[in-house]
Amino acid sequence: MVKPSVLVTRRWPAAVEARLAEDYNVVLNTGDKPLAAGEIRDALKTYDAVLPTVTDRLGPEALDVSGARTRILANYGVGYSHIDEARARDLGLTVTNTPDVLSECTADIAMTLMLMVARRAGEGERELRAGRWSGWRPTHLIGTKVSGKTLGIIGFGRIGQEVAKRAHHGFGMKILVQNRSRVDPALLARYDAVQVDSVDALLPQCDFVSLHCPGGAANRHLINGRRLDLMKPDAYLINTARGEVIDEQALARALWFDTIGGAALDVFDGEPHISPELIDCDNLVMLPHLGSATREAREAMGFRVLDNLGDFFAGRTPRDRVI
Ligand code: DGY
């Protein structure tokens, strides 16, 4: 039987690339250069499957093809707001993602950010590396205690739940949850969590707010100037979800004028471009989208794509089909 042809848009962990090469006629992106819209259009005419990732732009321009050969976009990553859903449906594409396997590591990064910003770890490291540290003193870089505080989680999917587990059972935090649908009371009970009705109702009650909702048009600027004003003046905002969920100009204003305590971001609107207004905010921690960046998670994401492809080409519905 002829093996399906597969294009991988970026470098993947070596173990996964090796397995892909055994099972498929695979073309790897050994140079790891992002593909332009025209190259994606060509790929859709050439390969049975295209394996994009979260930084590929699969909007109307890249998906503007007639006579596509590709039948499946097996995405490497859980988020798929970079894929134009309506256009993918028009082309009859199946789209899959890679949930679950990165939830723990992404929750770990959310906790890392929460601790870093509250304990001023970024500021401390910058000071030390610049040779500006004059030694221990009782008033130096005083931060905020995390243990026992109230954490608001916006979006209570798998990653949000992993954050609740760490924050409640590890740090004794009180958990408030905002979620589009009603959360099973048994699930809330695991973390002694309370679901509130709206983002507006959640924000004023929290010492920390962590975002775990999907990106895309529906949640663009969910956290805007008005909502930042609802936060306590010493509260911290954490984002490991998608950059567009926060209005970064409004956030920069809130940080500059100290209307919130600080923020910590792993994701950015239009990344890898960083809004210049954010760069000099001292009460801001920034990481370069590291949520799933562990060997374990990145390999598991790749093998999850392989599972989805295997199911698809065997005529079964892939377990992670999202479109
Ligand atoms: C995802 O999978 O959506 C993350 O942002 C990258 O791991």
- For residue 237 and ligand 1, the question of a CB distance below 6 A is answered with no
SS3 of residue 285 by DSSP: strand
pLDDT at 233: 98
Instruction: State the pLDDT at residue 213.
Output: 98
* Residue partners of 109: CB distance under 8 A and separation at least 6: 240, 266, 287, 290, 291
What is the pLDDT averaged over residues 107-119? 98
The structure's pTM equals: 0.96
Q: What is the dihedral of CA 258, 259, 264, 268, to 10 degrees?
A: -110
For the 5-101+295-313 domain, the top CATH level (class) is alpha beta
pLDDT the model gives residue 6: 98
Give per-residue pLDDT as tens, 143-182. Answer: 999 999 999 999 999 999 999 999 999 999 999 999 999 9
- Comparing 5-101+295-313 with 103-286, is the CATH topology the same? yes
Ligand 1 binding pocket includes 118 (Cβ within 6 Å): no
* Residue range 274-314, pLDDT digits in tens: 999 999 999 999 999 999 999 999 999 999 999 999 999 99
Alpha helices in 80-172 (DSSP H): 85-90, 103-118, 121-129, 158-165, 171
Residue 164 tokens read as 């609740």
Exposed, middle or buried by CB within 10 Å (0-12, 13-18, 19+), for 171? middle
Mean per-residue pLDDT for 18-36? 97
Residue 126 binned pLDDT confidence (cut-offs 50, 70, 90): very high
* CA of residue 321 to ligand 1 center, whole Å: 16
The answer to whether residue 1 scores a pLDDT higher than 90 is: no
Ligand 1 within 6 A of CB of 160: no
Token pair for 73? 């976009």
DSSP of 56-82 = S-BSTTTT--SS----EEE-BSS--TT
Q: Does domain 103-286 have CATH number 3.40.50.720?
A: yes
In the predicted model, what is the mean pLDDT of residues 124-148?
98
The closest alpha carbon to 240, from 204, 202, 268, belongs to 268
Ligand 1 pocket: which of 78, 104, 298 to mutate (most atoms within 8 A of CB): 78
Please report, for the chain, the start and end positions of each structural domain, with discontinuous segments joined by +. 5-101+295-313, 103-286
Q: What is the percentage of the chain residues whose pLDDT exceeds 70?
A: 100
